[in-house]
């Protein structure tokens, strides 16, 4: 045990001290921030040119609606869900038929997902109008408790509905769940490749340098293999923790720069001041950023980060042993590695293809089953988790997926260790998969 | 007590018998030569002795007890034929790491590294990377790493390849020193002149089997062909004799082979009778090289290309 610890320490320290590691650890969060910035920018860009048809059959709105920012509201035009687009509307807002203070009946129908900013503007508009209406009507009846009216109004949220291409209606995706799921799945995909290849290269280096023979005269081959896998896995975890810390620091700095009440004040000031329009662009960027961070905070981060670490760790362990086995079968020529790696990289690539599909249909049977099968589960499950546990992903699926991944890791490690033991000391021709399979099944 | 006892060791691969029933013993303090052509099974044999491979059959006794790789690896130092070092790792760290893998504590390691690095004048290398060293320097480092943990049994596979004569001598002296201190050295090589110079005992392995075992001198005696060199001041007209036949005629002497049932004195008398002055007379023992070639000559080279 002491010896495997020495191996882990060496593998870990030589890599963590490496310049590439330090560089990628610090540059990635900056890149991440840049990507968020671009997303916010695009979201803001998308807010203009919205024209919404408001179908208010019960007469909630008494007066014609003013346009707000870049969104135009038209009260009661002659359109429905099949014709609104042809008439130049981007969405239809249905007012509820029931009581005003019933909060859940407002519906916003559109062909595409509404951006965060636009959605927010629509909600603001509805609230303002209702607040005014309520104030007016209660003013006549003598009840002027403004606070309670505001509280009612603030609860009103339009329910976004997306009309599918086949005219069926799908629930509007949560932008944040989509983004986080996509990001997490993709990050696992990339890290499996990066760290898996790192393990393979490490094994190849030891084999071609013939250091393996020296080390194996001191420790068991299994210790050498596991030491390397665990050491490199620890490098991966270190990198993630560094990223989480750096991103937290970055985002709290950004957050500190735009406190919410300041945003509000800026907003008010802009409306009253004649020159306010000049600041519109910058102001909207601020709001966008604040909204984006608000959306992101709706995701259960503890669950996502916890599951991410689990799926990274065991997905990595599952594949790393296979990469080690390939590395041990290769001789000198990196081209051999390419062809031997193919059967391992194929399921990973397949998983990312499934994941791209699963992110739009997180409850489809393809998404469900491939998030349980260990070959795909680290990537596909990570894409589904942000949509909600146990909402989209029931507990039994998550549990089964995790159990199978652990079992899969034990199996691949057991088989790989046998291939590794033979391969690492065998020089000459590269081994074929058939030969490796024979080594794996041979009794020890 | 024997330091190492190998009994009926067998290791079969799918298509060949890499080691086929080999037995031998080594006494402490011996420099033991393991000889054999390429693909004879030397490396497999050494790997079983170092605990890298498990034998299919037979047993290995280390200091009289059954050899257990996990416990005994500490007392064995193995330097494989192809040098193995981490290219990107600093020399000091590398030496510490490999010694610690053998089970040495960090403090012990540091002390011993200091002694050896001073002895080989390697102190200035500490922070260099292995890839910055010349091949000969790497060889020295590898040797130091092999003997650093003071193993009872040191296994050296071609330790002199790539070394210049000065460094070669340095290592050779160290090997003698270590043997004098009671360490046992197994020494595997193709270079017969080194074997003759260094080894006390040798075995010759071919096609997975031991075909020769004994001290260098005994083996030479065993393979001698009664060849003698005679230095003469004048050459006789005729060499005809019942006692010997002339193998070779040299500038001031002859190489003769004494026939069966005749002795050296018969040869000398033959020349003395002819009043020819004898300047020197000595037996020519066959070189190990000659014995080696004679014994393994007809082995098909293709053996080493048979897939496992």
Q: How many domains does chain A have?
A: 2
Claim to verify: residue A192 and residue A167 sit in the same structural domain:
no
Contact call for A210 and B145, based on CB within 8 A:
no
Co-location of B70 and B191 in the same domain: yes
Q: Do residue A82 and residue A106 come from a single domain?
A: yes
A88 or A409, which is more confident? A409
CB contact under 8 A, A217 and B88: no
**E-strand stretches of chain B:** 4-12, 17-26, 31-35, 57-62, 65-66, 76-79, 153-157, 184-188, 201-206, 209-215, 227-232, 244-250, 253-258, 278-284
Domain extent at residue A367: 2-39+176-441
Q: In this structure, is residue B272 part of a structural domain?
A: yes
Which residue in chain B is spatially nearest to A9 when comparing CA positions?
A: B97
Q: A157: Cβ–Cβ under 8 A, 6 or more apart, which residues? A: A103, A104, A106, A123
Q: B90 with B194, same domain?
A: yes
Question: Does position A155 have pLDDT exceeding 50, yes or no?
Answer: yes
Give the residue from A151, A130, A133, A150 showing the smallest Cα distance to A141.
Answer: A133
B77 and B169 within one domain: yes
* Residue where a domain stops, chosen among A146, A172, A198: A172
pLDDT in tens, A312-344: 999 999 999 999 998 888 877 777 788 888 888
In a domain, residue A309? The reply is yes
Q: Is residue A45 part of a domain?
A: no
Residue A8 confidence (pLDDT): 94
A195 lies in the same domain as A122 = no
Average pLDDT over residues B102-124: 89
Asked if residues B54 and A219 have their Cβ atoms less than 8 Å apart, the reply is no
Mean of pLDDT values over B232-259: 82
Q: Residue B218, SS3?
A: helix
Note whether A10 and A231 are within 8 A (CB): yes
**pLDDT (mean) for B8-28:** 86
Average pLDDT on A274-294 reads 50
Q: Which residues of A touch B307 (CB under 8 A)?
A: 429
B202 and B236 co-located in one domain: no
Among candidate residues B191, B221, B251, the one where a domain is terminated: B221
Most confident among A48-57, A137-146, A328-337 (mean pLDDT): A328-337
- Whether residue A44 is contained in a domain is answered as no
Is residue B8 located within the same domain as residue B95? yes
A219–B contact, CB cutoff 8 A = yes
Domain identity same for A187 and A129: no
Most distant CA pair in chain A: distance in Å? 96
Looking at the structure, do residues A215 and A317 belong to the same domain, yes or no? yes
* B83 contacts A215? CB cut-off 8 A: no
Q: Are A154 and A123 in contact (CB under 8 A)?
A: no
B163 plus B144 within the same structural domain: yes
Of A147-156, A230-239, B250-259, give the lowest mean pLDDT range.
A147-156
Least confident among A274-278, B101-105, B192-196, B275-279: A274-278
Least confident of A16-20, A90-94, A428-432: A428-432
Using alpha carbons, select from A248, A433, A246, A209 the residue that is nearest to residue A331: A209
* Residues from chain B contacting residue A211 (CB–CB below 8 Å): 84-86
> Does the residue B106 lie in any domain?
yes
The answer, for A20 touching chain B at a CB cutoff of 8 Å, is: no
Q: What is the domain range of residue B271?
A: 225-284
We report the CATH number of the domain holding residue A160 as 3.40.190.10
Please tell me the distance from the alpha carbon of residue A214 to that of residue A191, in angstroms, as a whole number: 31
For residues A100 and A193, state if they share a domain. Answer: no
Residues β-bridged to residue B76:
B153
When comparing pLDDT for A282 and B69, which is higher? B69
Q: How do beta strands B227-232 and B278-284 pair? A: antiparallel
Give pairs for A251-254: CB < 8 Å, separation 24+: A251/A33, A251/A293, A254/A33, A254/A289, A254/A293
Name the average pLDDT for chain A.
Answer: 77
| pLDDT of amino acid A365 | 86
Contact B98 A10 (CB under 8 A): no
pLDDT above 90 (res A292): no
pLDDT at B195 over 80: yes
The verdict on residue B291 lying in a domain is no
Q: Which residue of A has its CA nearest to B103?
A: A3
Confidence band of A270 (pLDDT split at 50, 70, 90): very low
- Cβ A376 vs Cβ A370: under 8 Å: yes
> What is the per-residue pLDDT for A395?
87
Asked if residue B308 is part of any domain, the answer here is no
Residue A203 contacts B where some CB pair is shorter than 8 Å = no
Give the Cβ contact number of residue B231 at 10 Å. Answer: 15
A194 shares a domain with A121: no
B89 contacts in A (CB within 8 Å)? 14
As a whole number of angstroms, the distance between CA A22 and CA A63 comes to 61
Q: Which residue has the higher pLDDT, A89 or A198?
A: A198
pLDDT of B167 above 80: yes
On whether both A118 and A213 belong to a single domain, the answer is no
Q: Which of B47, B80, B84, B306 to probe the A interface (max A CBs under 10 A)?
A: B84
Domain shared by B118 and B240, yes or no: no
- In-domain check, residue B151: yes
Structure tokens at A318: 């599952």
pLDDT value for A167: 38
Q: Do residue B176 and residue B278 come from a single domain?
A: no
3-state secondary structure of B227: strand
Q: Which of A345, A327, A349 is nearest to A336 (CA)?
A: A327
Nearest alpha carbon to residue A122 among A55, A180, A22, A51 = A51
Label residues B129-157 b or e (16+ Cβ within 10 Å = b).
Answer: bbeebeeebbbbbbbbbbbbbbbbbbbbb
Q: Nearest CA of chain A to the CA of B183: how many Å?
A: 18
Q: What is the pLDDT of residue A166?
A: 41
Check residue B176 and give its pLDDT.
Answer: 92
**A199 Cβ contact partners less than 8 Å away, ≥ 6 residues apart:** A228, A229, A232, A320, A323, A324, A327
> Which of A118, A139, A172 is at the close of a domain?
A172
- What is the structure's pLDDT at B306? 45
Residue A112: the pLDDT is: 65
Query: Is the pLDDT reported for residue A172 higher than 50?
Result: no
- What span, in angstroms and rounded, lies between the C-alpha atoms of A33 and A249? 11
- Reading the block at residue A150, the tokens are 């505001």
**E strand map for A274-422:** none
Interface residues of B toward A, Cβ cutoff 8 Å, are 47, 50-53, 70, 73, 76, 78-80, 82-89, 97-98, 100-103, 145, 307-308
Segment among A108-112, A378-382, B280-284 with least mean pLDDT:
A108-112
Same domain, B208 and B243: no
Clarify whether residues B163 and B262 are in a common domain: no
pLDDT band at A297 (very low <50, low <70, confident <90, very high): low
Q: Are residues A58 and A96 in the same domain?
A: yes
Structural domain contains residue B305? no
Closest CA to A76 of A68, A85, A63: A63
**Of the ranges A110-119, A180-189, B13-22, B113-122, which one carries the lowest mean pLDDT score?**
A110-119
Q: Smallest CA–CA separation between A228 and chain B, in Å?
A: 14
Residue A285 shares a structural domain with residue A202: yes
What are the backbone angles phi and psi of residue A249, rounded to the nearest 5°? Answer: -65, -45
User: What pLDDT, on the 0 to 100 scale, is given for residue A196?
Assistant: 92
Does B303 map to a domain?
no
Instruction: Report the gap between the CA of B251 and the closest CA in chain A (Å).
Output: 50
Asked if B200 and B256 sit in the same domain, the reply is: no
Per-residue pLDDT of B283-304, as tens digits, reads 888 888 888 888 887 665 544 4
Question: Is some CB atom of chain B closer than 8 A to the CB atom of A3?
Answer: yes
Distance from B102 to chain A by nearest Cα, in Å? Answer: 5
- Looking at the fold, whether B104 and B130 belong to one and the same domain comes out as yes
CB contact under 8 A, B86 and A211: yes
Among A52-61, A81-90, A230-239, A254-263, whose mean pLDDT is lowest?
A: A254-263
User: A112 and chain B: CB distance < 8 Å anywhere?
Assistant: no
Q: Which has more confidence, A57 or A298?
A: A57
Q: Note whether residue B298 is domain-resident.
A: no
What pLDDT score does A386 carry? 81
- Which token pair is B227? 């060849």
Q: How big is the A-B interface in CB pairs under 8 Å? A: 57
- Supply the pLDDT for residue A147: 66
How many domains would you assign to chain B? 2
A412 located within any domain: yes
Between the alpha carbon of residue A259 and those of residues A248, A262, A263, A293, the distances in Å are 16, 5, 6, 12
- Give the global pTM: 0.73
- Mean per-residue pLDDT of chain B: 86
- Residue B308, pLDDT above cutoff 80: no
- First vs last Cα of chain A: how many Å apart? 21
pLDDT band at residue A273 using 50, 70 and 90 as cut-offs: very low
A299 and A199 assigned to the same domain: yes
Closest CB from B51, B97, B307 relative to A217: B51
Distance from first CA to last CA of chain B, Å, rounded?
37
Closest CB to B76: pick one of A6, A211, A217: A217
Q: Can you point out the beta strands (E) in A122-280?
A: 159-163, 169-171
Last residue of a domain, one of A119, A151, A172: A172
Residue of A nearest to B51 (CA): A217
Domain identity same for A367 and A380: yes
pLDDT band of residue A240 (cuts 50, 70, 90) is: confident
Going by pLDDT thresholds of 50, 70 and 90, the confidence category of residue A276 is very low
Q: What's residue A259's pLDDT? A: 55
In the predicted model, is pLDDT for residue B115 greater than 70? yes
Q: How far apart are CA A413 and CA B173, in angstroms?
A: 46
């Amino acid at each position: 045990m002491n010896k495997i610890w020495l191996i882990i320490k060496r593998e870990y320290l030589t890599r963590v001290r490496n310049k590439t590691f330090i560089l990628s650890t610090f540059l990635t969060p900056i890149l991440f921030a840049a990507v968020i910035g671009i997303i916010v920018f695009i979201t803001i860009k998308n807010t203009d040119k919205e024209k919404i048809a408001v179908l208010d059959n019960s007469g909630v709105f008494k007066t014609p609606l003013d346009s707000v920012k870049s969104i135009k509201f038209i009260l009661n035009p002659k359109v429905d869900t099949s014709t609104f687009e042809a008439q130049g509307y981007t969405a239809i807002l249905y007012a509820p038929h029931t009581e005003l203070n019933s909060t859940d009946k407002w519906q916003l129908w559109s062909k595409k997902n509404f951006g965060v900013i636009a959605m927010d503007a629509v909600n603001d508009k509805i609230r303002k109008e209702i607040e005014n209406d309520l104030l007016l009507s209660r003013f006549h009846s003598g009840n002027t408790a403004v606070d309670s009216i505001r509280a009612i109004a603030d609860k009103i949220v339009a329910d976004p509905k997306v009309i599918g291409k086949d005219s069926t209606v799908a629930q509007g995706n949560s932008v944040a769940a989509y983004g986080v799921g996509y990001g997490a799945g993709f990050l696992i995909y990339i890290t499996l490749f990066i760290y898996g290849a790192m393990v393979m290269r490490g094994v190849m280096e030891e084999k071609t340098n013939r250091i393996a023979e020296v080390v194996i005269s001191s420790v068991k081959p299994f210790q050498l293999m596991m030491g390397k896998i665990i050491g490199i896995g620890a490098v991966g975890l270190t990198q993630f923790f560094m990223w989480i810390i750096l991103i937290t620091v970055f985002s709290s700095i950004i957050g500190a720069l735009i406190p919410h009440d300041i945003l509000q004040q800026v907003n008010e000031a802009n409306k009253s001041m004649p020159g306010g329009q000049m600041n519109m662009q910058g102001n909207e960027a601020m709001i966008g950023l604040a909204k984006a961070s608000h959306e992101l905070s709706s995701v259960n981060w503890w669950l996502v980060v916890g599951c991410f670490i689990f799926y990274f760790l065991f997905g990595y362990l599952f594949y790393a042993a296979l990469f080690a086995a390939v590395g041990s079968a290769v001789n000198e020529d990196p081209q051999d590695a390419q062809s031997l790696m193919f059967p391992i990289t194929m399921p990973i690539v397949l998983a990312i293809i499934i994941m791209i599909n699963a992110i739009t249909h997180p409850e489809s049977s393809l998404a469900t089953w491939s998030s349980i099968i260990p070959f795909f589960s680290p990537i596909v499950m990570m894409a589904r988790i942000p949509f909600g546990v146990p909402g989209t992903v029931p507990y039994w699926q998550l549990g089964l997926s995790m159990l199978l991944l652990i079992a899969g890791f034990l199996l691949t490690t057991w088989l790989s260790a046998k291939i590794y033991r033979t391969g690492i000391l065998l020089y000459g021709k590269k081994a074929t998969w058939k030969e490796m399979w024979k080594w794996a099944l041979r009794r020890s | 007590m024997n330091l190492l006892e190998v009994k009926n060791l067998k290791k079969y691969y799918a298509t060949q018998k890499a080691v086929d029933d080999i037995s031998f013993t080594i006494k402490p303090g011996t420099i033991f030569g393991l000889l054999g052509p390429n693909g004879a099974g030397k490396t497999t044999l050494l790997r079983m002795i170092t605990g890298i491979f498990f034998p299919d059959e037979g047993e290995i006794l280390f200091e009289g007890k059954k050899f257990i790789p996990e416990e005994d690896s500490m007392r064995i130092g193995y330097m494989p034929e192809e040098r193995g070092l981490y290219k990107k790792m600093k020399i000091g760290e590398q030496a510490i790491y490999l010694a610690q893998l053998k089970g040495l504590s960090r403090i012990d390691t540091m002390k011993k590294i200091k002694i050896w690095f001073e002895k080989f004048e390697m102190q200035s290398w500490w922070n260099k990377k292995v890839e910055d060293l010349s091949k000969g320097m790497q060889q020295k480092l590898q040797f130091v790493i092999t003997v650093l943990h003071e193993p009872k049994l040191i296994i050296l596979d071609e330790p002199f390849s790539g070394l210049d004569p000065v460094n070669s001598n340095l290592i050779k002296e160290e090997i003698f020193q270590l043997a004098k201190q009671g360490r046992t050295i197994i020494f595997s090589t193709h270079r017969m002149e080194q074997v003759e110079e260094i080894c006390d005992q040798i075995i010759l392995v071919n096609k997975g089997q031991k075909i020769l075992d004994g001290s260098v001198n005994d083996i030479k005696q065993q393979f001698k062909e009664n060849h003698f060199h005679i230095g003469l001041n004048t050459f006789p007209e005729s060499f005809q004799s019942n006692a010997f036949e002339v193998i070779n005629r040299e500038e001031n002497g002859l190489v003769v082979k004494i026939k069966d049932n005749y002795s050296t004195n018969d040869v000398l008398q033959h020349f003395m009778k002819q009043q020819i002055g004898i300047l020197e007379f000595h037996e020519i023992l066959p070189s190990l090289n000659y014995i080696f070639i004679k014994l393994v000559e007809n082995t098909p080279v293709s053996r080493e290309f048979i897939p496992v």
